[in-house]
Structure 1
Amino acid sequence: MTDVLLVGGGIPAYAAALDLAEVGVRIHVADAEFPLPATAVHERDGDVRLLLAEMAAPLTPEAHPNPVAAPRHPETGATAIRSRAGSWTAEPAGAIWGIPPVPLATDCIAVLGMRGALRAYLDRLKPVLTIGKEPNLGTLVDSRFGSGLRETLVDPFVFERFGVRAHDAEVALVEPGLNEALTRAGSLSGAVALQAEAHAARDRVIEPAAGWQAFATELRDRLTLYSAVPFEGDVATVEPHDDGWTVTDGTGATTRFDAVLGDLASLAGVVADAPALTGPDASSLSELLRAAQPALVRQYAEVGIQWDGAAVADAASEYFEALFLVSTEGGTTWAARAAHDAHGGARLRLAGPVGAPGNASTPPVAAALQALGATEIGGSRRWTVAAPFASDADREASSGARNALAVAFPSLIVADEELHGGELGYALAEARAHAVLLRRKLTGISE
């Protein structure tokens, strides 16, 4: 029988292990912490929904469906932002990344004032031949709507997700298809209207019905159904050879495996410094894993708060989440969002700027609470994860590092959203595609 070692865990790694186990590959599971998504998971290309639906479906026609894993979209409140006048104002209806579809609508005037809204309306008078070609989001918005709209509406939403302002983000990564829609519509506001359906489908938050912790348990249980077995002892080192992998445990005993998969941090802690087995890259396995580490990360912080909510004048909705930018004493910008939770309380989440690993700063909790008129009541936590890709250069550098690793060690699957700017969907797609190729090789279907 073909044997594969699963080192560490995480949803992409377990999904890839299941794809192998379904064709008779025996998975050996090394005990390790199971990392769960640290930030909201978005639909993107539908790979997260696909996995949840697969896990929710009955295994046989006679079996019952599994409601624990069923995909669901948690409801969120409307977002209130600070208007140019300084009051809390509802985000314009139908806006994408703060970009409004109707600049002269009442809600847009409330945010920008009449003068700012009229400036944005001039977008429709922009010459047709100049549209649809600007790669920089900030430059695009400034040229079409003016810098006032970008600073007030667009920067808070872009910074919250990507850790940079619009001038440091590329259109194709923030909103794929926007430039093409701009060419068709003839105006940026018209492009936003055309993008509405695609944006909603791609960007909405998705999660399992019973939460990610319960879903992790379901993944473990499903793998056990496919005859997965525990790896006895601790994994000390993992070393590649021409015909597979040698794994040494804490007692010095060795076991041979045909392939290895796992999350980045777990694998990086146990791999031996072995040279590449195939391909032109002369780098060692540990060097390739280091190259695949996220080059940019973001800090997050969350605290429980006592908060009465954002008071939005003439609003149809009674409940708003509040989004704004706040600075530390050193001048570092963070995004802050206050929202009520499902238990009747409220929480403040702070998202820091993009930076190199190790360059930590203190989140401006006190300044954010003062801006909200809220008080902290405890339950705080902090974490750091890979920063989303806001430029093609960052994305291509990461893709190149992952490809070099896959070419040099084809029987190793490193499955982790940390390799994909924190996007679980992209990590699932790549890990499962790699698993399909590997299982074809391990079962003799292909060379």
Structure 2
Amino acid sequence: MVDVVVLGDSLPELASALELAEVGLSVRIYPHMREDDRADPRDADGVRDPDGSLRSFLAHVATPIGGAGAPENGSSPGFTELPPPPPLLQNAQGEWLPQPQPAVFGIPAVPLSSASLALLGGGAAFRAALDRIRPVLTIGKTHEFGELVRNRMGGGVLERLVEPLTREAYGVPAADVDVAIIAPGLNEALTRMGSLSGAALDYAERNVARETRVAPSAGWGELRTALLRRLGLYAVEFVESPAGIVTATETGWTVATGAAAASGSLHPEESGPQPTAGVQTPEQATTARAIVRGAAASGHAPQDPELSGLLGGPRRICGRVAVAQPAFPSTHPEGPGVRGVQVGDGSSWTVRFAPAGAGWQAIVSGPAAQGLATTEAARSAAEAWVKDAAIAAGATLIEGTAEVSMPFAPYVTIEQRDAAQGQLSAWADARPGQIPTGGALHGGDLAAAIADARARAIQLRRHLTGITD
């Protein structure tokens, strides 16, 4: 018997395994059914880390056991911070021009600056400037981001500056996003400053910190290698085959692999083992006191039925495709540039043009949608959508396939986020000895998933080692 079995090998599952192994608990890890179930980041763009939890994890992995010597991945402090570059946006004539700075998701702090005038035109810029003299009659009461921008600064700022960046980040129009989600504290800044542009000026530095992306110094692949190496130092066992039959017993869990896993079965039986063709013999199975369940990010069936009720959020089609260099102005030849487009069915997408190695890429983000299929056929169709969106944005495609993913969309309202977190907590509270993990359980937020996995693992290890009941 081992202390804990871990079903899945994405970063949140491995993070929980490390917390358990570091106190001497025996851990055995089973891989996900498919490689894309892991949904680990595949590029150097990094992920958002507003509360620093990912930085803490990366620094921990980079620190040698015992706290002395060179970092594990050969760099210090183990991560790189990537502040968001101010993007180029398009004016009514289709010209690429720099976003006014400072700004908060497109809200200009200086509505009558030369950059604002160039992008908005005189009329829309003057309308935005009226924000400075309009009384603040609904302080803290406007919860929808789009409504706040339109009421204070007009439709020009909303459509030209704010919508492309909001849709890119969240997959929905700004009217559907809570201010407290996209810019926590902006309403409070509006109260202090008396205008939205003043609030943007007051909030801008905080917004840059929130939107700064974090990546391992040596890359995501090397992070995974360093993490696996560190787990190996604690004698963590790695099983080559995915888990098959998962069975609850009086003392914990039994996990079988072999033919059961090859058939794609992941079926927990709460009432004890059931005869099933291809199940391993007892000596081939693993028994454990506790279990970590990783939510497959790809959405491929079969998924762990125990977690399926927690995976009801919308997904997005996202992708990257190689393109020819866009016609950016000579003053900003490297961009990046962001624009919104509509594709054949009328849905709204965003396309970001950015350098990629020696060439260029179009980073395409689709709308958030419920019930988005994740079958192989759906992925082939998604590749076509990604290419269509890039072409609609004016890209010249370079031959090659598009890299496509279908991540869970971020939370856009406080109610949605709190409901999901409450459901997750209720699930875990009702199932002591089990840890649910994965970015899919946190609106696709990898940093939040790792932080939650580590926190729950610490609680579990205290229980298993007898520190608490």
2:448 to 394, 411, 426: 426
- SS of equivalent to 2:253: strand
CA distance in 2, matches of 1:334, 1:144: 26
Query: What does 1:273-312 correspond to in 2, within 5 Å?
Result: 286=305, 288-311=306-329
Is 1:116–2:134 an aligned residue pair?
no
- Whether the 8 Å CA contact 1:100–1:189 is kept in 2: the answer is yes
State yes or no: 1:349 paired with 2:349.
no
Which of 94, 110, 118 in structure 1 is aligned with 2:102? 94
Residue equivalent to 1:177:
185
Pick aligned residue for 1:358 from 366, 372, 381: 372
- Asked if residue 368 in structure 1 is aligned to residue 390 in structure 2, the reply is yes
Question: For structure 1, which segment, 123-132 or 344-353, has the greater mean C-alpha deviation from structure 2 after superposition?
Answer: 123-132
Instruction: For residue 242 of structure 1, report the CA deviation from its aligned partner.
Output: 4.3
1:149 aligns with 2:180: no
Q: Distance in 1 between matches of 2:429 and 2:209?
A: 34
Q: Is the 8 A contact 1:68 1:214 kept in 2?
A: no
Change (3 A) 1:80 1:11: same
Aligned match of 1:320: 335
Q: From the superposition, tell whether residues 169 and 231 of structure 1 become closer, same or farther in structure 2 (CA, over 3 Å).
A: same
Secondary structure (helix, strand or coil) at the match of 1:122 reads helix
Partner in structure 1 of residue 11 of structure 2: 11
Q: Return the offset for 1:74.
A: 4.1
Residue 227 of structure 1 corresponds to 235
Change (3 A) 1:194 1:77: closer
Asked if the contact 1:92–1:107 (Cα under 8 Å) also holds between the matched residues in 2, the reply is yes
What is the CA–CA distance in structure 1 between the aligned matches of 2:287 and 2:99, rounded to whole Å?
58
Residue 234 to residue 427, structure 1, CA distance change in 2 (3 Å)? closer
Q: Secondary structure at the match of 2:404?
A: strand
1:105 aligns with 2:113: yes
Shift of 1:186: 1.0
1:256 and 2:287 correspond: yes
Change (3 A) 1:405 1:213: same
Q: Is the 8 A contact 1:236 1:270 kept in 2?
A: no
Matched residue type, 2:294: D
In 2, the alpha carbon distance for the partners of 1:88 and 1:194 equals 27
Alpha carbons of 1:84 and 1:131: their partners in 2 closer, same or farther (altered >3 Å)? farther
CA offset digits 1:307-327 (Å, max 9, x no partner): 244226xx4x44211111111
Paired residues of 2:84 and 2:208 also in contact (CA < 8 A): no
Give the distance between the partners of 1:232 and 1:85, measured in 2 at CA.
Answer: 57
The one-letter amino acid of 1:60's match is G
Per-residue deviation at 1:408?
1.7
Q: Which residue of 1 aligns with 2:222?
A: 214
**2:349 alignment counterpart:** 334
Q: Which of 36, 54, 57 matches 1:51?
A: 57
User: 1:75, CA displacement in angstroms?
Assistant: 6.8
**Structure 2 unmatched runs, 5+:** 259-279
The answer as to whether partners of 1:294 and 1:386 remain within 8 angstroms in 2 is no
- C-alpha separation in 1, matches of 2:126 and 2:53: 41
Residue 79 (1) aligns with residue 87 (2): yes
Q: Aligned partners of 1:238, 1:327: CA distance in 2, in Å? A: 45
In the alignment, the residues of structure 2 paired with residue 382 and residue 270 of structure 1 have an alpha-carbon distance, to the nearest angstrom, of 20
- Residue 372 of structure 1 aligns to a residue whose secondary structure is coil
Shift of 1:181: 1.1
Q: Check whether the contact 1:247–1:255 (CA below 8 A) recurs between aligned residues.
A: yes
Structure 1 unaligned blocks of 5 or more = 272-285
185 and 63 in structure 1: CA distance in 2 versus 1, 3 angstrom threshold? same
| Counterpart-to-counterpart distance in 2, 1:370 and 1:331 | 12
Q: Which residue of 2 aligns with 1:22?
A: 22
Instruction: Compute the displacement of 1:40 (Å).
Output: 4.5
- 2:254, 2:287 within 8 Å by CA — same for their partners in 1? yes
Scaled by the length of structure 1, the TM-score of the pair is 0.90
User: What percentage of aligned pairs have identical amino acids?
Assistant: 35
Closer/same/farther in 2, CA of residues 233 and 319 from structure 1, 3 Å limit:
closer
**Counterparts of 1:232 and 1:163, CA distance in 2:** 37
Which runs of structure 1 show a deviation greater than 6 angstroms over 4 or more consecutive aligned residues?
A: none
Of 130-139 and 54-63, more deviation after overlay is shown by 54-63
* Structure 2 residue 418 is matched with structure 1 residue 396: yes
Q: Which amino acid aligns with 2:281?
A: G
- SS state of the match for residue 192, structure 2? helix
Instruction: Give the whole-Å Cα distance in 1 for the aligned partners of 2:48 and 2:68.
Output: 32
**Counterpart secondary structure, 2:449:** helix
Work out whether 1:385 is the aligned partner of 2:393.
Answer: no
Paired residues of 1:68 and 1:208 also in contact (CA < 8 A): no
TM-score, with normalisation over the residues of structure 2? 0.86
Displacement of 1:98: 0.6
Deviation of the 1:330 alpha carbon: 1.3
* The one of 395, 412, 437 aligned to 1:415: 437
Cα distance in structure 2, aligned partners of 1:129 and 1:326? 35
- Is 393-402 or 101-110 further displaced after alignment? 393-402
Aligned-partner Cα distance in 2 for 1:67–1:101 = 41
Q: CA deviation at 1:91?
A: 0.7
Asked if 1 retains the 8 angstrom alpha-carbon contact of 2:387 and 2:402, the reply is no
Distance 2:81 2:430 in 1: 39
Paired with 1:169 and 1:309, the residues of 2 have a C-alpha distance of 32
- Deviation digits for residues 109-167 of structure 1, max 9, x if unmatched? 11111111111011112223422221000110001000111011000000001000101
**3-state DSSP class of the match of 2:316?**
strand
Distance change (3 Å), C-alpha of 1:200 and 1:234: closer
Shift in Å, 1:188:
0.8
Alpha carbon RMSD of aligned pairs, Å?
A: 2.3
Return the alpha-carbon distance in structure 2 between the equivalents of residues 31 and 46 of structure 1. 28
Deviations 1:218-276 (A, max 9, x none): 111111111112347652111223431122333232432011114212999575xxxxx
1:132-171 superposed matches below 5 A: 132-171=140-179
